[in-house]
Structure 1
Amino acid sequence: MFTIPDFPALQDAINRATEVEVLLALRSGSPGLNGLAALLSPAAEPHLSAMAKRSGAITSQRFGRTIQMYAPVYLSSFCTNRCAYCGFSAGNAIDRRVLTFAEAESEAMILHQRGFSHLLLVSGEAPAKVGVEYLEELALRLRGRFAALSIEVQPLATEEYARLFQAGITSVAVYQETYDRDIYKQVHLAGRKADFDYRLETPARAAAAGMREVGIGALLGLADWRAEGLALGLHLAWLRKHYWRTGLTVSFPRMRPAQGEFKPLAPVSERNLSQMIFALRMFDPDVGLYLSTREEARYRDGMIGLGPTRYSAGSCTAPGGYGLADAGGEQFEVGDNRSLAEVSAAIQQKGFDPVRKDWDAVFQTKEDRQQAA
């Protein structure tokens, strides 16, 4: 079972780092956790340009000049949790809806027609509205039309993830939100999500179920971003050791304006975010790094080729937002409203290739196919 050190211990490890340790980590092919702490430290800030160059070189070596494109489909805005920072929080007075299967299929096919082959299915955490049966049925309807189906929903049991894998879901994203137990308790006021340890164990359950890929992340703006970065590195390393066959990704969701008007407890600048991305790329050269439409177009364009390998485009965070005229109740405001074509053009202008499909079931091993059958 993965356990996380107390946040003050993580902060202390980071704040002790020296410039000499930063330079050693920059030159190292495998900086390790001590190197990651140095790269996240204040001592590394004067070396951000060198970090960007090193991160870009590693990304090019491991991923070539490709950036995978994806889009989310929000299935429901119902949620049983009371999270102080989230627009879907049960305490917020918003218009809520759950898509019918026909509506969800329609939303997915709108994105398919726009050129997307990688789809992320998202919902608030309300199992009575969007449970395993709903997700299973939707996956069975969609799996023949998309290269990959991912979910970002409430944490599930291992056997439930296995069931969804058999239905066609190949990837699970579950963010701890914050690895700081004290802050976690402060912002998760009610609901099953208030159980820190159950959520922390979720990526392992998804990997144990056979998911091809598992994504982790922290909501940046709740606690010290440097310590969150080191916690992510610890979690990533533990998952690599115990579930080496599972692909791993990290997302960097930075807080955006949302219903409830929650103010970040620990604001994170674009410069801070960049340092975190570069540090994690050097720490784990093979991890997929997401940069979503939470960020402004200007910043996303500037980060092309420097670390992130997956970009969303044309995103809407309200259920039915792509095709229903009366869609409302967004989870948060999107920062980059450009279409897939516009984001793809920006990527191509930098000399990179926006990939809309990079995997197919035909690439599965015989053992994988038997497990999914």
Structure 2
Amino acid sequence: MSFYEKVKSYKNFGFEEFLRNITEEKIRTILNKDYIDEKDFLCLLSPSASNCLEEMAQKAHEISIRNFGKSVVLYTPMYLANYCENKCIYCSYNAENHITRKKLTFEELEKEAKAIYDTGLRHIIILTGESRYHTPVSYIADCVKILKKYFSSICIEVYALEEEEYKELIEVGVDSLTIYQEVYNEEVYKKVHLAGPKKDYKYRLDAPERAARAGIHSLSVGALLGLDNWRREAFFSGLHVQYIQDKYPSVEVTMSIPRIRPHVGSFNGIIEVSDKEAVQILLAYKIFIQRAGINITTRERAEFRDNLIPLGVTKISAGVSTEVGGHSTEQKGGSQFDIADNRSVEEMKIAINNMGYNSVFKDWQRV
């Protein structure tokens, strides 16, 4: 069974009625369990659970310490290009938006790599817009060959690929994939992806599994919060992680809680997700999927990110630029979205250490 069939199995499920009938007593019963099932997980996303966040936080913290200790891996993104063929109404890279388009030359790429390497970071995520014409797999592979001289872990966040294409990139040095479904509600997905290759809902949904079959070491999946009802979206994000862990136990899986940030273009359909609601999602994730890591990006404010660390965060970005060439070049490409935490790698390291946690610059080496 593909994960698409799992999503479809909930098509006629009465989410609102189910959530409305959950009591605080039910939540506390769930929190006394060592492990919970998917319906328990949905209960932790209910309105009643929002009154039990302190108890949830204590349990999430205990689970995180038991499984991950007090270590937080630092990484930063490098944008290779921002050319895109899609018309996603929530993204600056939308093909109809008038932004400065750029693709790094290999010389510029190496300059970016050296600038990031000098900060001490050894984990990197490379990103592109969705344009096979401007950034074919061969270009991405050539970039990876250069970057592996500097970084022990290279993650890609690019357009959805075929299994053989994932294998090609893994062979040259990629070990991780981040690919967000953006929104699991198929009808909403059609409304926010107006044109381009990303419009194919099922092809994108199956991409993490293609990468897992290809031999990827770690995956990060989830929803972009703000496109649809956050409770349903968080629920399917959690189920997606569970599905991958159960079917591909050798793959490490990380989840995130990205919220829509200001961007070029206009999108009036944003469903606000408050800080309290974001915390509830994170806690529910950690209690449900105990072995999954949690990543917090610079979409979130500095103070908020710091406060989340004891609740189960295992990866966090630092020294971030969402511009193409943003770490070293003068002629930069337009950014994907505005960031909310501008701290340098050193500042992020100090913040993590001040909270009694260890900032990890390298925890993976390909052999």
Q: Could you tell me which residue of structure 1 aligns to residue 354 of structure 2?
A: 349
In the alignment, is residue 81 of structure 1 matched against residue 86 of structure 2? yes
In the alignment, is residue 146 of structure 1 matched against residue 140 of structure 2? no
Native 8 Å contact 2:92 2:263 kept in 1: yes
In the alignment, is residue 9 of structure 1 matched against residue 6 of structure 2? no
In the alignment, is residue 105 of structure 1 matched against residue 97 of structure 2? no
The within-5 A match list for 1:1-373 is 1-3=2-4, 4-5=7-8, 6=10, 9=13, 11-12=15-16, 13-362=18-367
Secondary structure of 1:53's partner? Answer: helix
Q: Could you tell me which residue of structure 2 aligns to residue 370 of structure 1?
A: none
**In structure 1, what is the Cα distance between the partners aligned to 2:15 and 2:123?**
37
Q: Which amino acid aligns with 2:67?
A: R
Secondary structure of 2:311's partner? Answer: coil
Q: Which amino acid aligns with 2:126?
A: L
What displacement does 1:21 show? Answer: 2.4
What displacement does 1:117 show? Answer: 0.3
Secondary structure of 2:282's partner? Answer: helix
What displacement does 1:133 show? Answer: 0.3
Q: 1:8–1:88: structure 2 CA closer, same or farther, 3 Å change rule?
A: farther
**In structure 1, what is the Cα distance between the partners aligned to 2:269 and 2:58?**
30
> How many residues align structurally?
362
**In structure 1, what is the Cα distance between the partners aligned to 2:147 and 2:92?**
28
Secondary structure of 1:281's partner? Answer: helix
**In structure 1, what is the Cα distance between the partners aligned to 2:205 and 2:29?**
32
**In structure 2, what is the Cα distance between the partners aligned to 1:281 and 1:358?**
21
**In structure 1, what is the Cα distance between the partners aligned to 2:78 and 2:224?**
20
Secondary structure of 1:9's partner? Answer: coil
Identity %: 37
Secondary structure of 2:260's partner? Answer: coil
Native 8 Å contact 1:14 1:226 kept in 2: no
What displacement does 1:129 show? Answer: 1.1
Q: 1:186–1:8: structure 2 CA closer, same or farther, 3 Å change rule?
A: farther
**In structure 1, what is the Cα distance between the partners aligned to 2:274 and 2:293?**
22
What displacement does 1:213 show? Answer: 0.6
What displacement does 1:263 show? Answer: 3.6
**In structure 2, what is the Cα distance between the partners aligned to 1:251 and 1:304?**
13
What displacement does 1:135 show? Answer: 1.1
Q: Which amino acid aligns with 1:269?
A: S
Q: Which amino acid aligns with 1:213?
A: S
For structure 1, which segment, 55-64 or 232-241, has the greater mean C-alpha deviation from structure 2 after superposition? 232-241
Runs of 5+ in structure 2 lacking a partner? Answer: none
**In structure 2, what is the Cα distance between the partners aligned to 1:102 and 1:15?**
57
Q: Which amino acid aligns with 2:282?
A: I
Q: 1:127–1:182: structure 2 CA closer, same or farther, 3 Å change rule?
A: same
What displacement does 1:266 show? Answer: 1.1
What displacement does 1:58 show? Answer: 0.8
- Aligned structure 1 segments of 4 or more residues deviating by more than 2 angstroms: 5-21, 261-265
Secondary structure of 2:73's partner? Answer: strand
**In structure 2, what is the Cα distance between the partners aligned to 1:113 and 1:316?**
16
TM-score by length of 1: 0.94
**In structure 2, what is the Cα distance between the partners aligned to 1:10 and 1:309?**
34
**In structure 2, what is the Cα distance between the partners aligned to 1:238 and 1:17?**
25
For structure 1, which segment, 99-108 or 290-299, has the greater mean C-alpha deviation from structure 2 after superposition? 99-108
Q: 1:14–1:7: structure 2 CA closer, same or farther, 3 Å change rule?
A: farther
The Cα RMSD (Å) is 1.3
Q: Could you tell me which residue of structure 2 aligns to residue 371 of structure 1?
A: none
**In structure 2, what is the Cα distance between the partners aligned to 1:14 and 1:179?**
18
What displacement does 1:261 show? Answer: 3.1
What displacement does 1:7 show? Answer: 5.8
For structure 1, which segment, 298-307 or 70-79, has the greater mean C-alpha deviation from structure 2 after superposition? 298-307
**In structure 2, what is the Cα distance between the partners aligned to 1:10 and 1:355?**
43
Native 8 Å contact 1:179 1:228 kept in 2: yes
Q: Which amino acid aligns with 1:105?
A: E
Q: Which amino acid aligns with 2:233?
A: E
For structure 1, which segment, 202-211 or 3-12, has the greater mean C-alpha deviation from structure 2 after superposition? 3-12
Native 8 Å contact 2:24 2:52 kept in 1: no
